[in-house]
Chains A and B, each alone.
Chain A
Amino acid sequence: MPRKTKPKLAVWKFASCDGCQLSLLDCEDELLAVADAVEIAYFPEATRASLKGPYDVSLVEGSITTEHDAERIHKVRRASKTLIAIGACATSGGIQALRNFKDVKQFTSVVYATPKYIETLSKSTPIADHVFVDFELRGCPINKMQLVEVISAYLNGRKPNVPRYSVCIECKRRGTPCVMVAHGTPCLGPVTQAGCGALCPLYQRGCFGCYGPSDAPNTRSLSEQWKAMGQTPKDLARAFRTYNAYADAFRKEGDLHEG
């Protein structure tokens, strides 16, 4: 049965690069269908129109890095029936979570002419550290087809098909030759959640871990293999400390190798 009233969708931005929101805009064909299926009530990146809440589905991009945002996210939560965190920033703190390993004051003193104007928290944290999140869509940036899948699933009251297994599964389904085995190229695919379609191995690059840890990440064993392939502890610490540096499994593995 066709739905009588269109569900209201809102897109919110916190500390992020906008790349994930752009994934939604990048959905050209699908976007028309999205616009048809939902009322885009709040999406500053795409439209100036803004409707009052409550919203049926809120997509939240970005991490929490300021006091102000730590309060704002509660307002967003209160105004949203379903809250979906999108992208590495919103689900693990993002690349800016690298500050979590250092003293942020040192950075501000070096980068800004008047550091006292900078109000920032000492850590960049994911949305789920602050409010209840209904679903986390991983990726840096997210995969637009997965985004459409998640929106479709919520609109149709079904479970999204977003598997938590490794990138290797997608890599093999695609028939891509394994870069670890065939070329000795270090790859984070075996400990990284699928979702990108094994994009980097397709271009003969190792996986960078953009989708964060898979559901059973044996990072220790993979690190041992990387070492046997000639990678130094420094290389390992770097590999685990990128877009999902603060995700539990990657954070712990990174800590182990930082010397």
Chain B
Amino acid sequence: MTKRTRQDSETPDIIESRDFQALFDSLAKQGYRLVGPTVREGVVIIDEIAQVSELPIGYIDEQEKGTYRLTHSSGSAFFGYGLGPHSWKKYLFPPRMRLWQAQRYNGSFAIAADDSTDQEVQPLALIGVRACELAALAIQDRVFMGDYPDPHYKAQREQLFIVAVNCIHPESTCFCTSMNTGPRAAGGFDLALTEVLEADRHYLLTQVGSDAGAKMLEAVPHRPATREEKAAADTLISRAAEHIERSMNTRGLKELLPASAESPHWDAIAARCLACGNCTLVCPTCFCATVEDTTDLTGENAERWRLWDSCFTTEFSYVIGGSVRASVKSRYRQWLTHKLSTWVDQFGTLGCVGCGRCITWCPVEIDITEEVRAIQAQHAAVSDGAGRKKKDAHA
């Protein structure tokens, strides 16, 4: 993706809502498989789509910790809802993937050709990527394309066309403003849209982010935006930023969390946490996988599979003799400390983009922003009091 000049990004274009399908069509014509938000079982998920009409048009969701409710309104907005449980990582880092298969051969074994097609890399157009999700992609890029690139991830990453959407209806669970990741898409897209829905007009203010984006836009009816149209879109995004309710103070977290390893608050969380792993699996940056080797009954054929894993399972930290993190307390502590502290040592960035998924999809309403605040408060109380005399519980 080549960067466009500043000037380009300052002169957005307008795609009228009735012409939006033309973008879908031209992407398809260029050989892209389109994936984007669509409704399944009362939830906005990400799946294959071909038509604008398959988007959750007119749907609005309400999210709180442990709750998600989707309702249909009479509105006609394409992107009037927030993030659902799926994230784009499922395409770059599939939940289940066969790594190789082998056959017994002359007392040894030979790696056999992979005959599966469902994990084939193909040109993929992601429709409706939010700003925090672009940030999550950038984080996973560091994880999967760093010193030891993951071949599948890298190959698929190079074949993406990204249509971003600026958020104008943040959820109560969002805290992107604390993490500096949203609500406006700052880069890392081919096209970025701001949906403006007025009493008598419905258009998409379109910003070009790459040469591929510029080329694609050529195939869609469009015209330069007026100053008023641009101002209308800008107002919607700034208003969205003002409406973000949750927050997290990240200052000093990198040091605070390891220093709080013995905090009694972990016990309080462990009493509630189910160690179910939902938070890690919905998180767009979590990257852990386990590997399973299988054989068939004859013992002639073997396969190696990679599956999404979570630091909340007992098996995750199993070494000879048992699990290193036998308690739920140690698992929650691992998740939070990795996300907001040791991730920085590993990848030079926090592992959280403030998307709020782990808050919504925790079945027992555990909220990462509340837990961080509780640990901060406890630390402050200890330092204010007799904390000085106490030995630093550095573990």
Which residues of A line the B interface, CB within 8 A?
A: 1-3, 30, 33-34, 36-38, 148-149, 151-153, 155-156, 158, 161, 163-166, 168-169, 172-178, 180-184, 187, 189-191, 204, 215-216, 218, 220-222, 224-225
Contacts and interface: CB of A to CB of B under 8 A. Distances in A.
Given A181-B361, A225-B363, A216 B107 contact: no
Contacts of A224: 272, 364
Interface string B101-113: 0001001000000
B360 A34 contact: no
B42 A190 contact: no
B193 interface: no
Given A166-B277, A172-B282, A177-B45, A33 B298 contact: yes
Interface pairs A-B: 7 shortest CB-CB: A177-B43, A172-B281, A190-B276, A173-B95, A168-B276, A190-B274, A37-B297
A166 B275 contact: yes
Contact of A182 (B41, B307, B365): B41
28 contacts: A1-B104, A3-B299, A33-B296, A33-B297, A36-B297, A37-B299, A152-B296, A155-B297, A158-B293, A158-B295, A164-B315, A165-B312, A165-B313, A165-B314, A166-B274, A168-B276, A168-B278, A172-B85, A172-B282, A175-B85, A175-B90, A178-B278, A182-B41, A190-B278, A191-B274, A218-B328, A221-B271, A221-B272
A137 B312 CA distance: 22
Interface residues of B, number: 52
B294 interface: yes
B278 A172 contact: yes
Interface of B: 40-43, 45, 66-70, 84-86, 90, 95-96, 104, 107, 271-278, 281-282, 292-300, 307-310, 312-315, 328, 360-365
B299 A156 contact: yes
A161 B315 CA distance: 11
B72 to A, nearest CB: 15
B364 A221 contact: yes
The A interface is mostly helix, strand or loop, or mixed, namely helix
B55 to A, nearest CB: 17
Nearest to B44: A177
A190 B363 contact: yes
A37 B298 contact: yes
Given A169-B310, A172-B308, A182-B42, A222 B282 contact: no
A1 B313 CA distance: 36
B274 A155 contact: no
